[in-house]
Amino acid sequence: MSFRGKGIFMWVSRADEAKALAEQESPIPRAATKVSFHLRRYMPLYAFATVWVAIAVLVPTVNHNNSQSSALTGTGSSASSDLGGPSAAGVTSSGGGGSSAATTSSSGGGSSATSSNPTGGPVAAVQRGGGTTRLGNACRPGVSQIPFSHYAAPCVAKFTGNNGGATATGVTGSTIKIALRIYSDQNGANAKAVEQVNEQAGNPSNAQYEQIRNTYLKWFNSNFELYGRHVEIVPFNGQGNSTDEALGNGQAAACADADAIATTVKAFGVITYPAWSYDSIPFSECAARYHLWSPLGGAYYPEQTWYKTLHPYVWGIIPDCELVEHLIAEYIGKRLANKPAQWAGDALTKRMKRAFGIYIPQNAGYQHCVGISNADLQGKYHVKRASQYNYKLDVSQFAQQAAQAMVQFKAAHVTTVELACDPISAIFLTQQADAQQFHPEWLLHGDALTDTDGYARLYQGDQVNGHLYGISQLGAQNIAGSASGEAAQAWKQATKGQALPNGGWQVYYEMLEGFDQLQSAGPVLTVANIGKGTAAMGRLGGENLPQGVWDLTKTHTAIKTTQEVFWDSKRRATDGKTGDFVATYSGRWFELGEFPTGTPPIHPE
């Protein structure tokens, strides 16, 4: 084994790969083995920008324990953790009327926000919940801006008049400039290897993601009320190295990029290449320091100790890990604990009372969150995990750590392995369990694409087929990616009837959250008003809808619910391939406190 170059490369021989492949008789284990060798040969610990979230969402931040002070030091920002406050300036309450707003306060953030209207005239009032939208639809309380959408912001009447002009850096009377940050190593060998693996999992290529975003962008600009403005995306070639940032390093380069985006590009906000993707954790902190709006930043990081310290700059759609760990503890306590492991892979284990072993990154943010579920399990349900393996987010060690974890779990008589990890590790874990003739249940937390069809197809088949289930905050893709779903409807409108590409639903919902915020901020667009307007949107969606409940009134991440899912290796998915996650209770979503007691109604076998 050796390393070479600036990236992390693990050298393995072709002979070893050929031997391993020859030992696999069925196509699914062969595919997983092939991917594993591909990763071991080429894959760095790399920010997985080519997918919605993956390893980039499971990385340690720089100096996490001190992020409250370091992220905003010296900025002059008065960022507050209070998400409350009035609606954005110029937006009236339901039913219309109200007064015009000629000024907006810059306290609480805002990227160089002006304190007075630069155009000299009063900013026109916005009628929310009444009148007629720019699409010609009747607007009334309870109706969204997009009639068929359950997650679009509450409707507003078509805006006319003065919008305040240049209300913040990156904002003019007609444009909202959003920088598309491209890592310095985006076109290197490592990035190409990542893209290849990503496509093997069934996700779009980078070029396809870009096409999907650009197509949706025109639709969002035309359908949302941006008060005379439209979003324009400006590519920015950064100094930041994705591998460094995934390791929690490289904050100097990340902040240099944020500085340049704010002061040279003069953008209002920032997203990461490709499509409309998550900013890394180090860069998200830098974005807040330089007063940039980050609609997707710091995926799965804690709400109380991280997101709130960066208010009102950094937001997300997937839930923070504090909520996820409360949910998994409730799920285990009410549904699984003190019962036989009936979906294990061998007869002896099936008769054993469940013993849980969790596989989770060792960095401080995620250890903080696993502490929450450990406390909930012991305090509320009198359940103690049999084993916990804290692994390093270093792909060169993934195979070795997976083997060690399986030895540890097997020795501890674990019946149920909890996947609180990235999907690459899940591939290795299932392979190593097979190699050790260890056949447990596999329990999803819903983290980092472990619950997506494409990656599940790469897991060791005899390990997961009939044995993989749990909770998913993304939801079963046969619902979210449905040809009749709102992502597909929006795509048809944008393309005059074309079918939604595979993976397009992810881009749609990511962009939707951002445009919800822009509309809700009102005509005087500042980051401070993003915070106020977002809190004023209220709850969106519902427990029987494709994305469950979205609620940004008191937190910085939208999804507040989870589905119960199981893996069906024989079911045909919406992408036409075999293997699909199926949701129980006809796709119902559960909020914290809502899980029923009793054995899950799943039938993975």
CB 317 within 8 A of CB 560: no
Examine residue 48 and state whether it is found in any structural domain, yes or no: no
**Higher pLDDT, residue 249 or 110:** 249
Q: What is the DSSP string of 325-360?
A: HHHHHHHIIIIITTSB-TTSSSHHHHTSBP-EEEEE
386 versus 91: the higher-pLDDT residue is 386
Give a yes or no: residue 34 inside a domain.
no
Cα(550)–Cα(534) distance, rounded to whole angstroms? Answer: 11
How far is Cα 463 from Cα 349, in angstroms, rounded to an integer?
13
Mean pLDDT of 449-477: 91
Read off the pLDDT of each residue in 31-59 and give the average, rounded to a whole number: 41
Residues 210 and 81 in one domain: yes
Of 16-20, 250-254, 278-282, 535-539, the range with the lowest mean pLDDT is 16-20
Answer whether residue 266 shows pLDDT above 60. Answer: yes
| pLDDT of 421 over the 80 cut | yes
Tens-digit pLDDT profile for residues 96-141: 332 233 333 333 333 333 334 444 467 888 888 889 999 999 999 9
428, 491: one domain: no
pLDDT at 530 over 70: yes
pLDDT(227) > 80: yes
Domain count, the chain: 2
* Span 573-594, average pLDDT: 90
Q: Burial, 98: exposed, middle or buried (Cβ in 10 Å; 0-12, 13-18, 19+)?
A: middle
Q: Is the pLDDT of residue 173 over 90?
A: yes
Residues 406 and 542 both lie in one domain = no
293 and 265 inside one domain:
yes
Structure tokens at 432: 């190593």
Q: Average per-residue pLDDT in the chain? A: 82
Least confident of 89-93, 241-245, 309-313, 441-445: 89-93
Question: Quick check: 407 and 434 in contact, CB under 8 A?
Answer: no
Answer for the pair 455, 426: CB distance below 8 angstroms, yes or no: yes
pLDDT at position 31, please? 44
Residue 56 located in a structural domain: no
Q: Alpha-carbon distance 367 to 364, whole Å?
A: 5
pLDDT of residue 195: 67
Q: Mean per-residue pLDDT for 62-71?
A: 37
Q: Does 199 lie in the same domain as 88?
A: yes
With 0-12 CB in 10 A as exposed, 13-18 as middle and 19+ as buried, what is 444?
buried
Answer with the residue of higher pLDDT: 240 or 230.
Answer: 230
The H-or-E segment that residue 103 falls in is: none
Q: Write down the residue that tokens 């096409």 correspond to.
A: 211
- Write down the pLDDT at residue 37: 53
pLDDT at 448: 84
- Summarised one tens digit per residue, pLDDT across range 429-440 is 999 999 999 999
Query: CA torsion 339→343→349→352, rounded to 10°?
Result: 0
Residues 573 and 501 occupy one common structural domain: no
Give backbone dihedrals phi and psi of 316, rounded to 5 degrees, phi first. Answer: -165, 170
| Band (275; pLDDT cuts 50, 70, 90) | very high
Same domain? 311 vs 291: yes
Number of Cα atoms under 13 Å in the Cβ half of residue 56: 29
Percent of the chain with pLDDT over 90: 61
Where residue 393 sits, what CATH number does that domain have? Answer: 3.40.50.2300
Say whether both 119 and 256 belong to one domain.
yes
**CA-based nearest residue to 470, from 514, 440, 492, 437:** 440
Whether 566 and 545 map to the same domain: the answer is: no
Is 503 domain-assigned?
A: yes
The backbone torsions φ and ψ at residue 168, rounded to the nearest 5 degrees and listed phi first, read: -160, 165
4 vs 223, residue with greater confidence: 223
Q: Which residues contact 443 (CB under 8 A, 6 or more apart)?
A: 332, 336, 356, 416, 417, 418, 419, 469, 470
Let me know how many helices (H) and strands (E) the chain has, helices first.
Answer: 19, 12
Q: Say if residues 579 and 201 touch (Cβ distance below 8 Å).
A: no
Q: Helix or strand or coil: residue 154? A: strand
Residue 121's pLDDT is 63
Note down the domain range covering 575: 321-472+562-587
Is residue 201 domain-shared with residue 335, that is, in the same domain?
no
Is 599 part of any domain?
Answer: no
Whether 46 and 243 have beta carbons less than 8 Å apart is answered as yes
Mean pLDDT of 446-460: 91
Predicted local confidence at residue 437, as pLDDT: 96
- Indicate if the pLDDT at residue 484 is higher than 50: yes
Query: Does residue 191 or residue 344 have the better pLDDT?
Result: 344
Residue 287 confidence (pLDDT): 98
The pair phi, psi for residue 569, each rounded to 5°, is: -70, -15
Note whether 343 and 313 are same-domain residues. Answer: no
Asked if residues 416 and 341 have their Cβ atoms less than 8 Å apart, the reply is yes
* Tens digits of residue pLDDT in 488-525: 999 999 999 999 988 888 899 999 999 999 999 999 99
pLDDT at 114: 37
Least confidently predicted of 100-104, 118-122, 150-154, 475-479: 100-104
Q: Does residue 6 lie in a domain region?
A: no
User: Rounded CA gap, 515 and 537, in Å?
Assistant: 12
Q: What percent of the chain has pLDDT over 70?
A: 77
Question: Cα–Cα–Cα angle for 255, 47, 188, nearest 5°?
Answer: 95
d(CA 270, CA 424): 27
The band of 86, judged by pLDDT with boundaries at 50, 70 and 90, is very low
Note whether 361 and 404 are same-domain residues.
yes
Residue 593, domain member (yes or no): no
CB 58 within 8 A of CB 448: yes
Please check the confidence at residue 449 and state whether its pLDDT lies above 50. Answer: yes
The pLDDT of 20-39, averaged and rounded, is 49
**What distances in angstroms separate CA 446 from CA 121, 320, 605, one per listed residue?**
50, 12, 21
Give the confidence band of 272 by pLDDT, cuts at 50, 70, 90: very high
Q: Is the pLDDT of residue 463 over 50?
A: yes
Is the pLDDT confidence value at 62 over 60? no
To which H or E segment does residue 282 belong? Answer: helix 281-289
Burial environment of residue 68 by CB neighbours within 10 A (0 to 12, 13 to 18, 19 or more): middle
Helix H or strand E encompassing 113: none
Alpha-carbon dihedral angle through residues 312, 313, 314, 320, given to the nearest 10 degrees: -10
Mean pLDDT, range 66-76, rounded to an integer: 38
Tell me the pLDDT band of 43, cut-offs 50, 70 and 90. very low
